[in-house]
Chain A
Amino acid sequence: NAGVTQTPKFQVLKTGQSMTLQCAQDMNHNSMYWYRQDPGMGLRLIYYSASEGTTDKGEVPNGYNVSRLNKREFSLRLESAAPSQTSVYFCASSELAAGTGFLPQHFGDGTRLSIL
């Protein structure tokens, strides 16, 4: 059972570079999420997708874009990376439909991103 798969697991970028974090889930979940977690802090929601074809901003969306490619895949893009975006990024999914609460149920193991 793969669950939620994130790639890459680690990445080092230079300021100004761009990259896309990939996420795929095999549980046929409707909702998917991107969070970041900084040292000593809790998870903060960047973007979420309640269902295929929709995306919405979370608490900290600035500097990021997302694409819900299909029901399985939800990618996060950093167009021009900044040191403040150094963090651990988690993708998550849930089977709950929109309107019943956007609460992730399954998380990936994270992408550790460092921006120099």
Chain B
Amino acid sequence: GESVGLHLPTLSVQEGDNSIINCAYSNSASDYFIWYKQESGKGPQFIIDIRSNMDKRQGQRVTVLLNKTVKHLSLQIAATQPGDSAVYFCGTGNQFYFGTGTSLTVIP
């Protein structure tokens, strides 16, 4: 079956630094990917998406990089702020199960 996992369960960064969160996927046929942010007590929130015909996509302070060769996806957050503290996870294809994600803590 299809699986999506994340490399690190926790990540701590200083306020103002850049953050990089990684995700690996197993299905080479995946053609659409989403990064989500989930704050404590809230539902997951769509951050940014990317299609397989792209290698990079930028949003406001966020960049997603897609490496189809090694089936790897990353989320870069520029100038990380305390409000960025949350759990981040990625999804692709027919996602029946999302992993526990990476918990990002921003240190003021």
Contact = CB atoms under 8 A, between A and B. Distances in A.
A46 to B, nearest CB: 10
B99 A45 contact: no
Interface stretch (B10-18, B57-65, B77-85, B89-97): B89-97
Size class of the B contact interface (CB-based, 8 Å): 20 to 34
A42 interface: yes
Contacts, number: 60
Contact of B43 (A102, A103, A109): A109
A77 B30 CA distance: 32
B73 to A, nearest CB: 13
Contacts of A110: 42-43
A100 B31 CA distance: 8
Contact of A42 (B30, B32, B92, B98): B98
Contacts of B31: 100-101
A109 B96 contact: no
Contacts of B95: 45, 101-104
Nearest to B45: A107
27 contacts: A40-B100, A42-B89, A42-B99, A42-B100, A43-B44, A43-B97, A59-B96, A59-B97, A90-B44, A92-B43, A100-B31, A101-B31, A101-B32, A101-B95, A103-B91, A103-B92, A103-B95, A104-B44, A104-B91, A105-B49, A106-B46, A107-B44, A107-B45, A108-B43, A109-B43, A110-B42, A110-B43
Given A44-B96, A58-B96, A90-B43, 14 more contacts: A40-B100, A41-B100, A45-B97, A101-B31, A102-B93, A102-B94, A103-B32, A103-B34, A103-B94, A105-B46, A107-B43, A107-B44, A110-B42, A110-B43
